[in-house]
Amino acid sequence: MRPAELGTPVEHSLRIVVVEDDPLALADIASILRRGGHDVVATCETAGEMAVAMRDLAPDAVVFDVHLKTGNGISTFRAGGRDRPCAGIAVTGDRSDETARAAIANDVLAFVLKPVNPVQLLTDIRLAYARARDISRLKSENREYAAALDDPQGRS
């Protein structure tokens, strides 16, 4: 499949880290992303590898399994995103409300259920990335506004 056949045409390639402890699912997700026109900068099977990739590679997005054998994907994403914010896309077979609430509470911007639908995954990545950029812009504007309130004469 070409990028246009998989969903929204790619405006530009996103740098994506994929985290999945099932090697077949990891290969499948990475393949979907590459065929969708994205750059998979790392594939990881553990929470530790995920943290390192987020820190060192500064991806635009992280597509991760919620329940990793080595840790919780949601909490690892949250911790890694403190220093380098990016779009988080949780992939899971867990349909519980508790897991969905935990994802939302930890800044995950998309929640994809397994088995992964390629068009849905690519669409959700685009939406999550756009939301992450908007959130980052708004946070920056809020910091600038707060600074202006603290020093209305611009003396700093």
Q: How far apart are CA 99 and CA 33, in angstroms?
A: 24
pLDDT digits (tens, 9 = 90+) for 84-101: 779 999 999 999 999 989
Query: Is 70 a residue whose pLDDT tops 50?
Result: yes
pLDDT digits (tens, 9 = 90+) for 107-154: 899 999 999 999 999 999 999 999 988 887 887 777 777 777 777 666
Mean pLDDT of 60-88: 91
